[in-house]
Structure 1
Amino acid sequence: MGNRDRTQPRQFRPELERDYARSPDLGYEAAESAGFVSCLAHGFPTPLARWHYHDEYELHLITSTSGKAFVGDWIGPFKPGHLVLTGPRLPHNWLSLDTPDEGVEVRDLVIQFQREPLLHCASHIAELSELDALLERARHGVEFFDMGERAEQHWYRIKSAEGLRRLTAFLDLMCDLAACADYRLLSSVQLQSTGDDESIDQIHAVVSRITDNLSEPHSAAAVAAELGMSESRFSRFFRKATGNTFTDFVNRVRISRACQLLMDTEQQITHICYEVGFNNVANFNRRFLELKGMTPSEFRKQSLARFRDVRTG
């Protein structure tokens, strides 16, 4: 690609991947042959390596090169064997930093599958409920460890199969992913099941209050009083539902929102600090470093790598 036209504003927001752009010339399976599950293999550099999102779930395996991965508000390293499942409309990109001059023929092995057909089938086929937790985690991006070799074997079996045999090969892969206990969530925070509808409703009300009013002060004592609980009982209740203390959860949500603003806008870091609810820059920088392993300015600098020109070779 040539140099970006500097007279045009930088496109911060991720690009929506549409069906008409999925050309077989880029490695996609032809629309008439791809069904519920589709396979994609491509090298690097490629126009497919961009900050984008789509309506499908995507399982993404890196087979060569290393670099920076961008999944939602997470930035981290990747190398061969890196395996990530992203949920619908979760932005992502993988940028290789050690590509040889001639490029690499195959860097990415990808499986995309549609959301609605799977949800519809799950409402009628009880066994598919075993995938519920996996698909919920995928909303945040899930990185699986020590699964790369097995996932590559699954990919080639799925790619070589058609019709019902492709579907059964895909379900075999999903069984392995659902059973994998060695993983981490990449983007933002995750709620855990509390086991009853009333508790879930209460937690969602609290979380919505936090996320909708980030710039306002939030205290466990005030929320506990509103729910008619003692502060100690509320703290246990909240930690069970979120895996975090109330204060840690508020900080995580605020930092997650700050990441989005750092990636998607050109607002000054000081302005972002106060917009997401921190009352001083030093505390903001400290919490950001604790959660992201880098300062806000370093995070913004690395996020801009998403827009680095990709050579067409």
Structure 2
Amino acid sequence: MMSGKEQGSLEIIVSECDEAIRWSEHGYPSMLARWHHHPEIEIHLIREGSGFMMAGDAMVPFHEGQVFMLGPNLPHNWISNLDAGQALAERDVLCQVHPNRLNALIRVFPEASRLYGLLRRSERAIALDGQSAAKAARLLEKMGRCVGFDKLIVLLNLLQVFADAPTDEWSCVVTPGYDCNVASNSERRINTVLSYIEEHLSEDVSLQTVAREISMSGPAFSRFFKQSAGVSFSDMVRRLRVAKACRLLDSTNYGISRIQAECGYVNTANFNRRFRQETGMTPSEYRRRHR
């Protein structure tokens, strides 16, 4: 049995010897797209696709063009809504910098004192939208073409976009008081569970069945999953089912009864209730609005 609160595996960020800012990009699925954490602050752009973003104890929808800022050691992952065999070649672009570098900047330059509040907010994962997200996205893309001093200037401009964003263009998604300073042995198990759920969404995905997949008892698995993923197992299954329903409503002409079945719902009333709980509208309303 695993004890204490768990989070994803530690990712070791290796930068070049003459730089403190690491920029990278990758597709999805990818070995880099998993439940993990690292001591660096990360600014992350979703170039394409939609799905659910997990950070700490939060699980929220994400969409193309959205930009996030994640504080140090905050476990996170983005799960895209994809059909079997589908892939996104260049889904993610991101930069990472250790908070000690930014704290040193704040100590030396009083003009940078605004960053202190921003770094504290990033501990709860900042989601950026609207014009602020568009500006941040352009800067992140530009950073990939920069070296040396130019890369630092772009980073400072990026931080300014987050600091200046109007209140209707940013939000923190992690619960206040969430403690990410915890053990880090759960990556293999939590990622095995997420893969199993996604592969069996049209079936009866029971807690006991999934617990056996990772050789845990039902009660131990229930505690482990809630501590690791930030939501209960049943909440995760429901959200992934609704995410799949949203994708099918948006991208196919399937009837709602077929979509309901493909997402593992036998009872129509239950499907409608769960769908409204996650999206605030019925499946029919969702399809009309997104078409």
TM-score greater than 0.5 by the shorter chain: yes
In 1, Cα distance between equivalents of 2:150 and 2:44:
21
Match of 1:60 among 44, 51, 59: 44
Counterpart secondary structure, 2:158? helix
Match of 1:16 among 7, 10, 14: 10
In 2, Cα distance between equivalents of 1:14 and 1:34:
29
In 1, Cα distance between equivalents of 2:99 and 2:58:
23
Task: Verify: 1:266 aligned to 2:221, yes or no.
Answer: yes
Q: C-alpha displacement at 1:68, in angstroms?
A: 1.2
8 Å contact 1:44–1:99 — kept in the other structure?
no
Structure 2: runs of 5 or more not aligned: 179-218, 242-291
Partner of 1:77: 61
In 1, Cα distance between equivalents of 2:114 and 2:93:
25
Q: C-alpha displacement at 1:156, in angstroms?
A: 2.2
In 2, Cα distance between equivalents of 1:137 and 1:36:
22
Partner of 1:35: 19
Counterpart secondary structure, 2:94? strand
**Residues 42 and 185 from structure 1, CA distance in 2 versus in 1: closer, same or farther, beyond 3 angstroms?**
same
8 Å contact 1:88–1:115 — kept in the other structure?
yes
Task: Verify: 1:93 aligned to 2:74, yes or no.
Answer: no
In 1, Cα distance between equivalents of 2:33 and 2:18:
21
8 Å contact 2:45–2:137 — kept in the other structure?
yes
Structure 1: runs of 5 or more not aligned: 1-8, 23-30, 192-263, 273-291, 306-313
In 1, Cα distance between equivalents of 2:153 and 2:223:
51
Partner of 2:174: 187
In 2, Cα distance between equivalents of 1:77 and 1:88:
22
Letter in 1 for 2:70: T
In 2, Cα distance between equivalents of 1:109 and 1:296:
30
1:12-47 deviation per Cα after TM superposition (whole angstroms, max 9, x unaligned): 63110014xx6xxxxxxxx32661211111111101
Q: C-alpha displacement at 1:102, in angstroms?
A: 4.6
In 2, Cα distance between equivalents of 1:34 and 1:159:
16
Partner of 1:6: none
TM, length-normalised to structure 1: 0.55
Backbone CA RMSD of aligned residues: 3.2
Partner of 1:120: 104
**Residues 99 and 116 from structure 1, CA distance in 2 versus in 1: closer, same or farther, beyond 3 angstroms?**
farther
Counterpart secondary structure, 1:266? helix
Partner of 1:299: 235
Q: C-alpha displacement at 1:172, in angstroms?
A: 1.1
- Give the number of aligned pairs: 192
Partner of 1:129: 113
Partner of 2:248: none
In 1, Cα distance between equivalents of 2:233 and 2:148:
49
In 2, Cα distance between equivalents of 1:107 and 1:73:
23
8 Å contact 1:65–1:99 — kept in the other structure?
no
In 2, Cα distance between equivalents of 1:127 and 1:190:
28
Identity %: 26
8 Å contact 1:44–1:105 — kept in the other structure?
yes
Match of 2:140 among 139, 155, 170: 155
Letter in 2 for 1:83: V
Q: C-alpha displacement at 1:158, in angstroms?
A: 1.5
Counterpart secondary structure, 2:78? strand
Q: C-alpha displacement at 1:100, in angstroms?
A: 7.0
In 1, Cα distance between equivalents of 2:108 and 2:76:
32
Q: C-alpha displacement at 1:301, in angstroms?
A: 3.1
**Residues 45 and 296 from structure 1, CA distance in 2 versus in 1: closer, same or farther, beyond 3 angstroms?**
closer
**Residues 268 and 137 from structure 1, CA distance in 2 versus in 1: closer, same or farther, beyond 3 angstroms?**
closer
